[in-house]
């Protein structure tokens, strides 16, 4: 572990400017911790005895980020923003936020922080570490512990429960026994946290940790998963259909997420949710009991293909509900559910052009790369257990790419005939236009050679004009 952090020159410039004006200044927070364990950091924060008005007076370019709470952003010459915050101490805490007042020493400021590894200050001018709570020793020993009494520190802000799991996973730390007990006890109070804060913590695990599986497993072992994401907690109780024995849906999703890159947090989230469509209890009886659509007459035993389709539909529905409750944006919900809608396994490479085009039309060609990443991750997870054949994924990917290289029409927008053409043919606009165009697309997916304006117009005249299900059109 590094004993001597290094920081961008601007950190030294800000500290020197403040120190020369008589204000003690230290670099604090995650950047100091990260550099000590050898992780480069560009997000440097400083704590100072200067009040916000002093900081704004000493620097020409500032941003009032949170002046009431003592934080002023200082813009360096290269445009990078550094947060400079007055030393603070807590006056009163509420489990979600604290009332603070300005303090005069860095020790007071560090004493209000959550964990010892985050309560280390570094003086960029003297190259001096100030570590009053043993954070450096805890980093070296691989221990995560609170600053002060664990129950009190977590109760000050219950988000610290989630932060503890993230830090323990990210830095491969064992959680101190007293901190672990307090953390488990605090899970019953996590409902005071806003849904947005819970969402952001989960995304930090998925988007910043190269190996998120440790933090995710701690989520469940601690009881946090059951408290904040019960739908995912239930996945640990169901087996993976058509998968190797002993692999539950939660463990499967965690392994998938760990294989995928942290630069794609929503892709990792889709991986984690792969098993959310499996009915509680699992098995064929549960599938039939929880069927999202009625069985066909006389069919008491749905096929494996039908059950897989049901699981996909349930996964999309349940994932959308979960993500919306956790205040994910509509765009993020659509992104994740579209990946789930593709299904857990690729279409057969031998399915034929029409089937492959229908798959591409349903899923969207723009999703193919991410969906393929999920397939590859799935193949790797199953191959570890001697199950499945990764070559099937490669064959399906190549077949779909070959089909795309032919540039087939896959959407209504790709058709050589559109709504304006239907109007010119004498049809009156209305909802039936959508049905007509979707019908044309179905024909074109079967045979792309039909996609020219004259041929499609002929199909409209032959098959749709005058039909009762496209009322509203008239003949010119």
pLDDT tens column, 215-268 = 999 999 999 999 999 999 999 999 888 788 889 999 999 999 999 999 999 999
Per DSSP bridges, beta strands 81-86 and 45-48 are parallel
Residue 315, pLDDT > 60, answer yes
Answer whether 36's CB lies under 8 Å from 139's CB: yes
Q: pLDDT value at position 340?
A: 95
Cα–Cα separations (whole angstroms), residue 189 to 162, 183, 199: 12, 10, 16
**Dist. CA 213–CA 84, nearest whole Å:** 34
Pick the residue with more confidence: 345 or 180? 180
* Cα–Cα nearest to 362, from 379, 378, 347: 347
**Dist. CA 416–CA 444, nearest whole Å:** 10
214 Cβ contact list (under 8 Å, min separation 6): 168, 169, 172
Tell me the average pLDDT of the chain. 90
Residue 437, pLDDT > 90, answer yes
Q: pLDDT value at position 360?
A: 95
Sign of CA dihedral 215, 221, 226, 230: positive
Per DSSP bridges, beta strands 25-28 and 45-48 are antiparallel
314 Cβ contact list (under 8 Å, min separation 6): 276, 277, 278, 279, 290, 292
373 Cβ contact list (under 8 Å, min separation 6): 260, 264, 267
Pick the residue with more confidence: 469 or 394? 394
Question: Bridge partners of 129?
Answer: 122
Q: pLDDT value at position 302?
A: 72
Residues of 186-216 as b/e, b for ≥16 C-beta within 10 angstroms? bbeebeebeeebbbebbbbbbbebeebbbbb
What pLDDT, in 10s, does the model give residues 97-117?
556 789 999 999 999 999 999
Residue 169, pLDDT > 80, answer yes
Q: pLDDT value at position 28?
A: 97
Q: Please name the residue ranges forming H helices in 120-176.
A: 135-141, 150-156, 159-170
What pLDDT, in 10s, does the model give residues 264-313?
999 999 999 999 998 876 665 566 666 666 655 555 567 778 888 888 99
174 Cβ contact list (under 8 Å, min separation 6): 142, 143, 144, 168
**Dist. CA 176–CA 173, nearest whole Å:** 9
185 Cβ contact list (under 8 Å, min separation 6): 151
- Going by pLDDT thresholds of 50, 70 and 90, the confidence category of residue 188 is very high
**Dist. CA 103–CA 107, nearest whole Å:** 9
Q: pLDDT value at position 476?
A: 38
- Going by pLDDT thresholds of 50, 70 and 90, the confidence category of residue 179 is very high
* Cα–Cα nearest to 369, from 408, 338, 415, 330: 338
**Dist. CA 467–CA 421, nearest whole Å:** 18
What pLDDT, in 10s, does the model give residues 50-79?
999 999 999 999 999 988 889 999 999 999
Residue 469, pLDDT > 70, answer no
Residue 369, pLDDT > 80, answer yes
Q: pLDDT value at position 301?
A: 64
- Going by pLDDT thresholds of 50, 70 and 90, the confidence category of residue 474 is very low
Answer whether 430's CB lies under 8 Å from 464's CB: no
**Dist. CA 255–CA 244, nearest whole Å:** 14
Answer whether 465's CB lies under 8 Å from 475's CB: yes
Q: Is the pTM of this model over 0.85?
A: yes
Q: Read off the tokens for 207.
A: 């988007």
Percent of the chain at pLDDT exceeding 70 = 90
**Dist. CA 376–CA 335, nearest whole Å:** 19
Answer whether 114's CB lies under 8 Å from 138's CB: no
Residue 130, pLDDT > 50, answer yes
Q: pLDDT value at position 473?
A: 42
> What average pLDDT score do residues 146-155 get?
96
Q: pLDDT value at position 227?
A: 96
What count of residues does the chain have? 476
Q: pLDDT value at position 1?
A: 59
Q: pLDDT value at position 36?
A: 94
Residue 452 CB neighbour total at 10 angstroms: 13
What pLDDT, in 10s, does the model give residues 329-363?
999 999 999 999 998 888 888 888 999 999 999 99
- Going by pLDDT thresholds of 50, 70 and 90, the confidence category of residue 432 is confident
Percent of the chain at pLDDT exceeding 90 = 74
Q: pLDDT value at position 442?
A: 95
Half-sphere exposure of 308 (CA within 13 A, CB side): 12
């Amino acid at each position: 572990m590094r004993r001597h952090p290094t920081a961008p020159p601007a950190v030294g410039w800000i500290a020197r400017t403040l120190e020369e004006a008589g204000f003690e200044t230290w670099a604090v927070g995650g950047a100091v911790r990260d550099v000590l364990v050898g992780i480069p950091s560009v997000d440097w924060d400083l704590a100072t005895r200067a009040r916000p008005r002093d900081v704004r007076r000493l620097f020409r370019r500032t941003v009032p980020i949170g002046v009431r709470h003592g934080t002023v952003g200082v813009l360096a010459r290269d445009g990078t923003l550094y947060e400079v915050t007055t030393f603070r101490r807590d006056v009163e805490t509420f489990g979600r936020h604290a009332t603070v007042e300005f303090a005069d020493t860095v020790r007071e400021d560090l004493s209000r922080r959550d964990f010892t590894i985050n309560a280390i200050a570094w003086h960029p001018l003297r190259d001096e570490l100030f570590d009053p709570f043993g954070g450096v020793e805890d980093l070296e020993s691989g221990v995560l512990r609170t600053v002060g009494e664990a129950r009190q520190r977590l109760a000050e802000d219950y988000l610290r429960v989630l932060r503890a799991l993230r830090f323990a996973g990210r830095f491969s730390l064992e959680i101190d026994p007293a901190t672990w007990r307090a953390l488990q006890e605090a899970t019953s109070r996590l409902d005071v946290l806003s849904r947005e804060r819970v969402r952001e913590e989960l995304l930090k695990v998925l988007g910043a940790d190269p190996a998120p599986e440790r933090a995710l497993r701690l989520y469940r072992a601690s009881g946090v998963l059951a408290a904040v994401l019960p739908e995912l907690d239930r996945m640990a109780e169901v087996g993976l259909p058509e998968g190797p024995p002993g692999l539950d849906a939660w463990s499967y999703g965690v392994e998938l997420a760990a294989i995928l890159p942290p630069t794609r947090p929503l892709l990792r989230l889709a991986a984690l949710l792969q098993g959310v469509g499996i009915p509680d209890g699992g098995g064929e009886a549960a599938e039939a009991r929880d069927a999202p659509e009625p069985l066909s007459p006389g069919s008491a035993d749905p096929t494996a293909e039908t059950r897989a389709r049901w699981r996909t539909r349930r996964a999309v529905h349940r994932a959308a509900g979960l993500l919306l409750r956790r205040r994910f944006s509509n765009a993020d919900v659509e992104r994740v559910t579209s990946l789930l809608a593709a299904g857990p396994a690729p279409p057969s490479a031998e399915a034929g052009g029409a089937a492959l085009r229908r798959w591409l039309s349903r899923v969207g060609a723009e999703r193919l790369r991410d969906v393929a990443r999920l397939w590859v991750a799935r193949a790797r997870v199953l191959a570890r257990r001697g199950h499945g054949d990764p070559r099937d994924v490669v064959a399906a990917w190549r077949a779909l790419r070959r089909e795309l290289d032919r540039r087939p029409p896959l959407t209504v927008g790709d058709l050589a005939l559109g709504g304006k053409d239907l109007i010119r043919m004498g049809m009156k606009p209305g909802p039936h236009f959508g049905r007509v165009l979707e019908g044309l697309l179905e024909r074109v997916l079967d045979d792309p050679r039909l996609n020219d304006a004259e041929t499609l117009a002929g199909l409209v005249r032959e098959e749709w004009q005058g039909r009762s299900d496209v009322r509203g059109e008239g003949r010119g």
